Chain A
Amino acid sequence: MEDSQIIAMYFDRDEGAIQACREKYEPYCMAIAQNILTEQRDAEECVNDTWLRSWNAMPPHRPARLSAFLGKITRNLALNRWRSRQAARRGGGEVPLALAELEECVAGGETPEEQMDAKALAEAVTAYLRGQSALKRMVFIRRYWYLNTVPVIARQLAMSEGKVKSMLHRMRLELREKLGEEGLL
């Protein structure tokens, strides 16, 4: 079913929209959740919650890309769950590794977190990514949005792991520089 038809069903408050979303995007959302969470049950619950959240969000929101919209919801839910699991020392998955890598993009020292406005950060990252080639954007977002592992990205994009790593490393340094220029560090 076309995304536009599914969205129309949401706007018509047709509960079949959720089933249509499940059929079309469950594997996609599940992959996102599983990259963040180690527990299968946690991932499944996040994906199930995604359908409820999407039902509550549409209307009024009308996503331009349904897949990305649903993926965002799943990612948010999974990160929240990961955080609570982490607090209970049951976390894992790709998040700690991705966080450790992203440390290169942010400053050491004592800049308070409060100064990092999330919206400005997202805009700066977006601007940086828009200045990159499609391939570089793809690699970066697969690693830090989808939380795919480097070997998986390398396989998906027909690149060597070394190349993926070096590309990510260079991009992290560039992003750090950009964030510094914009006073976000």
Chain B
Amino acid sequence: MKSEKLLEAMNDLPEELIAEANTRRHHPVVRIAAVAACFVVLLVGMYPFLRAMTEHGGSDDGCFVSDRDVLQLHGALYEIVGTHYETDLERLHLPDAITEEMIGQRVDTAPDYGDVYAYVPLEGRSGTAPAALYLLHRTDEGHEGEWWYLAFTGFVAGDESGYAEAETMFQVYGIQSPADIAAVRDRHSGEQLLSPEAFYDTLLAAPSFGWEDFHEQTSAVMNASAGAVGIRLETDWGLRTYMTYYPETGFVKWLESYYQVGKLL
């Protein structure tokens, strides 16, 4: 039976996809306005602090933003950056539902770590990024003084027809102007693809679509994902976000939204 063959072949799916599918989502999705309202307490001067963190701990590549995954917290979707959050949250007995009163507070003590860790809002250089992170100060033997963190960056997402305007998405990442973008690079090679100004202006001017509309628009293209280019946008305060450019259709996919940019590269 051919379907059985397919079922068997799926056993060879990459382990990261299998692990990804075993992660949890918690609550219905709400829009970014609700997210922003949740993060009303902002700490001043986080930039140098975060810079220090990137130099003293975090993910393997030395940047505190290293991977992408999705979690629903506090009634909104978040991009998970950092590590395999679910296991870590459980291991550290960290609540996976972040509430407003936790912001800026010490939450608990954690096994393998010292008694200092907190959940704090993460302030972008422009001061508007509705993001947050668990911050842990590792003081166990051999790791004294090391910072470790689980970071969450709020983003807009919705159902299959939902999308966010590029301006909103930029705001999520604390990007108010091209000056807040450090680089637009090829996700894998790191090669700089185009100037922040060109990229920012192109995306702002592009019509936005949700998944369903995107597929309607591109259904005539035989291989819409051919030649897809992974894009890594970096802010100059260390945050990264990932997109995909589909040259066959002239769309950029940014999380759950699609932007019709035409010829970008």
Q: Let me know if B19 and A106 touch, CB within 8 A.
A: no
Is the Cβ of B17 less than 8 Å from the Cβ of A158? Answer: no
Residue of A nearest to B18 (CB): A68
- Report A166 CB to chain B, min CB distance, Å: 9
Pairs A-B, 7 closest by C-beta atoms: A122-B12, A141-B21, A68-B15, A102-B3, A121-B9, A68-B18, A106-B2
Q: CB-CB contacts of B3-17 with A at 8 A, as 1s and 0s?
A: 111111111111111
The contact of B6 among A69, A121, A129, A131, by CB within 8 Å, is A121
- B153 at the A/B interface (Cβ < 8 Å)? no
Contact status of A75 and B25, CB under 8 A, knowing A113-B5, A134-B69: no
- The residue that A125 contacts in the complex, of B4, B9, B19, B223, with Cβ under 8 A, is B9
For B159, give the chain A residue with the smallest CB separation: A163
- What's the Cα separation between A160 and B9 when bound, in Å? 28
Stretch at the interface among A37-45, A46-54, A59-67: A59-67
**A118:B9 contact, CB within 8 angstroms:** yes
Q: Among the listed B19, B70, B159, which residue makes an inter-chain contact with A68, where contact means beta carbons less than 8 Å apart?
A: B19
- Candidates B4, B16, B18, B256; contact of A72 at CB < 8 Å: B18
Residues in chain A near residue B26, CB distance under 8 A: 158
Contact with B along A126-140 (1 / 0, CB 8 A): 100111011101101
Q: Which of B9, B28, B160 neighbours the largest number of chain A CB atoms within 10 Å of its CB? A: B9
A interface list, Cβ under 8 A from B:
28, 63-65, 67-69, 71-72, 75-76, 79, 95, 98-103, 105-107, 111, 113, 116, 118-119, 121-122, 125-126, 129-131, 133-135, 137-138, 140-142, 144-146, 156-158, 163, 167, 181
- Given known contacts A98-B7, A121-B6, is B17 in contact with A141 (CB within 8 Å)? yes
B8 near A118 with CB under 8 A, answer yes
**Closest residue on chain A to residue B5 by CB atoms:** A116
Number of inter-chain CB pairs below 8 Å: 124
Smallest beta-carbon distance B253→chain A, Å: 9
Which residues from chain A contact B27 at a C-beta distance below 8 Å?
158
Q: Assess A145 versus B18: contact at CB under 8 Å? Given A125-B13, A158-B26, A158-B72.
A: yes
Task: Known contacts A67-B22, A107-B2, A113-B5; decide if A141 and B16 are in contact (CB<8 Å).
Answer: no
Contact B10 A125 (CB under 8 A): yes
Tally chain B residues at the interface, Cβ within 8 Å.
39
Give chain B residues whose Cβ lies under 8 Å from the Cβ of A28: 22
Across the interface, name the chain B residue whose C-beta is closest to A107: B2
Chain B positions near chain A (C-beta within 8 angstroms): 1-28, 69-70, 72, 159-160, 211, 222-223, 225, 228, 256
Q: Which chain A residues lie closer than 8 Å to B4 at the CB level?
A: 99
List, sorted by A's number, 11 A–B pairs whose CB atoms are closer than 8 Å.
A28-B22, A71-B18, A79-B7, A107-B2, A122-B10, A126-B14, A137-B21, A138-B25, A141-B10, A145-B21, A156-B24
Closest CB of chain B to A157's CB: distance in Å? 5
Instruction: Using known A-B contacts A79-B8, A158-B72, A181-B223, determine if residue A69 contacts B15 with beta carbons closer than 8 Å.
Output: yes
CA distance A156 to B86 in the complex (A): 14
Is there an interface contact between A103 and B10, defined as CB atoms closer than 8 Å? no
Assembled-state Cα–Cα distance A148/B165 (Å): 35
Evaluate contact between B18 and A99: CB separation under 8 angstroms. no
Q: Is the CB of A63 within 8 A of B13?
A: no
Apart from A65-B16, A141-B17, 19 more pairs, CB < 8 Å: A28-B22, A65-B18, A65-B19, A67-B22, A68-B16, A69-B15, A71-B18, A72-B15, A79-B11, A101-B3, A113-B2, A118-B12, A130-B17, A131-B225, A137-B17, A141-B10, A145-B13, A156-B24, A156-B25
B211 touches A138 (CB 8 A): no
- Contact A181:B222 (CB < 8 A) given known A99-B1, A142-B21, A156-B25: yes
Which of chain B's residues have a CB closer than 8 A to the CB of A75? Answer: 11
A122 touches B70 (CB 8 A): no
CB proximity of B225 to chain A, nearest CB, Å: 5
User: With A67-B22, A141-B18, A181-B222 in contact, is A118–B211 under 8 Å at CB?
Assistant: no
